[in-house]
């Protein structure tokens, strides 16, 4: 299997390679924050992906209604972002969708259309130049589902909990195989989380998945974890301590040796806090399962 090094040209649909190589120095502390411009419009709750040389924000909520607009910006050679522009629209307006990238495709799994959770799966090809192709539907989830945490293992995608139509917050785990051509197989259930929750942040280490906080009735601080088995399935869930505070809907990123939780809400209000913890588990070799390059 190819090992990426500094200067490696990253292929389309390989955001994990860029994420892993963001910080190649031993210092993984974030520097001082500053504003670097604005998006074209006010938005939140977009799904985000990175391709070869672009970042895309898919769908949005502007505080009042959902939109289908896709916003994009180039990623410059120095790591900064270029000017934002629109890049077409999704087939319909929604947000809170779970998103994954496979070999050469992006999938938006369910979401919230402003009034209800949807079951539709939307997909588009990732072109060689990093742009996105035309959107189409690719079947449905077992039910309308939004705000699920999503992880990908060697050959499977998992939707963990979420908000389900007609039920509310659920503990169900839904899973589908990732086929060799990057398409998704049929959805089945794969057990349950220890409790029902949604809006949890998720990270994947070399052989484990962690769910950080989330919300059931109110925001929680519990950290849940499960091993990733050799066949790509998930093992038994256990608790792994707590966050410093109750926290839901936070954005999680991982550098080479740290995990960061950026903002979110504490059950009552949005917060600006950044939480960080050392991280020695090492990232998965995402290319192994996203690109089906099995050893």
User: pLDDT, tens digit, for every residue of 102-134?
Assistant: 878 899 999 888 788 889 999 999 998 888 999
Percent of the chain with pLDDT over 70: 79
Q: How far apart are CA 183 and CA 114, in angstroms?
A: 28
pLDDT score at 291: 39
Pairing of strands 238-242, 251-254: unpaired
**Is 263 a residue whose pLDDT tops 70?**
yes
Mean pLDDT of 274-291: 57
**Is 41 a residue whose pLDDT tops 80?**
no
Mean pLDDT of 59-70: 72
Q: Which band of pLDDT confidence, cut at 50, 70 and 90, is reported for residue 62?
A: low
pLDDT score at 95: 78
Burial class (CB in 10 A: 0-12, 13-18, 19+), 215: buried
**Structural contact between residues 68 and 89, judged by C-beta atoms closer than 8 angstroms:** yes
Mean pLDDT of 95-101: 86
Q: How far apart are CA 220 and CA 266, in angstroms?
A: 8
- Buried b vs exposed e over 246-258: b needs ≥16 C-beta within 10 Å? bbbbbebebbbeb
Q: Which band of pLDDT confidence, cut at 50, 70 and 90, is reported for residue 77?
A: confident
> What's the pTM value of the predicted model, to 2 decimals?
0.80
pLDDT score at 29: 60
Sorted by where each begins, the domain ranges of the chain are 15-290
**Is 9 a residue whose pLDDT tops 60?**
no
Q: State the fold for domain 15-290.
A: Neuraminidase (2.120.10)
Q: What confidence tens digit (pLDDT) does each residue in 230-254 have? A: 888 999 999 998 999 999 888 887 7
Q: Which band of pLDDT confidence, cut at 50, 70 and 90, is reported for residue 225?
A: very high
Q: How many CB atoms lie within 10 A of CB 30?
A: 14
Q: What confidence tens digit (pLDDT) does each residue in 187-200 have? A: 999 999 999 989 89
Q: What dihedral do alpha carbons 61, 62, 67, 73 form, nearest 10°?
A: -90
Pairing of strands 258-265, 270-278: antiparallel
pLDDT score at 239: 93
Percent of the chain with pLDDT over 90: 28
Bridge partner residues of 54 (DSSP): 74
């Amino acid at each position: 299997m190819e090992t990426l090094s500094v200067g490696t040209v990253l292929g389309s649909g390989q955001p994990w390679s860029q994420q892993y190589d963001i910080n190649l120095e031993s210092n993984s502390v974030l520097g001082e924050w500053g504003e670097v411009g604005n998006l074209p419009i006010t938005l939140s709750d977009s799904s985000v992906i990175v391709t070869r040389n672009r970042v895309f924000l898919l769908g949005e909520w502007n505080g009042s209604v959902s939109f289908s607009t896709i916003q994009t910006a180039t990623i410059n050679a120095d790591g900064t972002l270029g000017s934002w522009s629109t890049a077409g629209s999704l087939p319909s307006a929604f947000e809170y969708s779970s998103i994954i990238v496979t070999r050469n495709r992006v999938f938006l799994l369910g979401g919230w259309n402003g009034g209800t959770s949807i079951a539709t799966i939307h997909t588009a090809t990732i072109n060689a130049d990093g742009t996105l192709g035309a959107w189409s539907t690719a079947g449905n989830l077992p039910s309308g589902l939004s705000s699920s945490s999503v992880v990908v293992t060697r050959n499977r995608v998992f939707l963990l909990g979420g908000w389900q139509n007609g039920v509310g917050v659920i503990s169900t785990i839904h899973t589908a195989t990732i086929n060799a051509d990057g398409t998704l197989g049929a959805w089945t259930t794969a057990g349950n989380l220890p409790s029902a929750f949604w809006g949890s942040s998720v990270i994947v280490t070399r052989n484990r998945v962690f769910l950080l906080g989330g919300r059931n009735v109110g925001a929680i601080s519990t950290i849940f974890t499960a091993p990733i088995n050799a066949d790509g399935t998930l093992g038994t869930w256990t608790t792994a301590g707590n966050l410093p505070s109750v926290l839901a809907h936070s954005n999680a990123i991982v550098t080479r040796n740290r995990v960061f939780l950026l903002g979110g809400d504490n059950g009552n209000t949005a917060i600006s806090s950044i939480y960080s913890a050392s991280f020695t588990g090492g990232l998965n070799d995402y290319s192994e399962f996203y690109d089906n390059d099995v050893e």
